[in-house]
Copies of this chain bind each other. A is one copy, B any other.
Amino acid sequence: MSLLVVGSVAFDSIRTPHGEVEGILGGSASFFSVAASWFSPVKVIAVVGDDFGDEHLEVFRLRSIETTGLERAPGKTFRWKGEYVGDMNDARTLDVQLNVFQSFSPKVPESHASSEFVFLGNIDPKLQLHVRRQLPKARLVACDSMNFWIEGSLNDLKETLREVDALVINEGEARMLSGCQNLRKAATEIQKMGPKIVVIKRGEHGVSLFNNGSIFSTPAFMLEEFKDPTGAGDSFAGGFMGHLARSGDFSEENLRRAVVYGSVMASFAVEEFGLKRLLGLTAQEIEGRVREFTRLTQFDV
Contacts and interface: CB of A to CB of B under 8 A. Distances in A.
Contact of A222 (B86, B208, B299): B208
Contacts of A253: 299-300
B298 A298 contact: yes
A294 interface: yes
Interface string A201-241: 01001101000000111111011110000000000000000
Interface string A165-205: 00000000000000001111100000000000000001001
B294 A297 contact: no
Chain A residues touching B, range: 35 or more
A215 B223 CA distance: 11
Determine how many copies of this chain the complex contains. 2
Interface stretch (A54-62, A66-74, A256-264): A256-264
A290 B294 CA distance: 19
Contact of A260 (B205, B208, B223, B299): B299
Interface string A65-96: 00000000000000000000011000000000
A257 B205 contact: no
B215 A183 contact: no
Chain A's interface: helix, strand, loop or mixed, by majority? Answer: mixed
Contacts of A218: 219, 297, 299
Contact of A184 (B202, B223, B290, B301): B223
Given A257-B299, A301-B260, A184 B217 contact: no
Contacts of A225: 182, 185
A284 to B, nearest CB: 15
A158 to B, nearest CB: 24
A98 interface: no
- A183, A206, A301: which has the most chain B beta carbons within 10 Å? A301
Interface of A: 86-87, 181-185, 202, 205-206, 208, 215-220, 222-225, 253, 256-257, 259-261, 290, 294, 296-301
Given A205-B206, A217-B219, A253-B299, 9 more contacts: A182-B224, A185-B225, A202-B205, A205-B205, A206-B219, A215-B222, A215-B296, A217-B222, A260-B301
Please name the 10 residue pairs, one residue from A and one from B, whose CB atoms are nearest each other, closest first: A217-B219, A205-B205, A256-B299, A87-B181, A184-B224, A257-B301, A290-B301, A184-B222, A217-B296, A260-B301
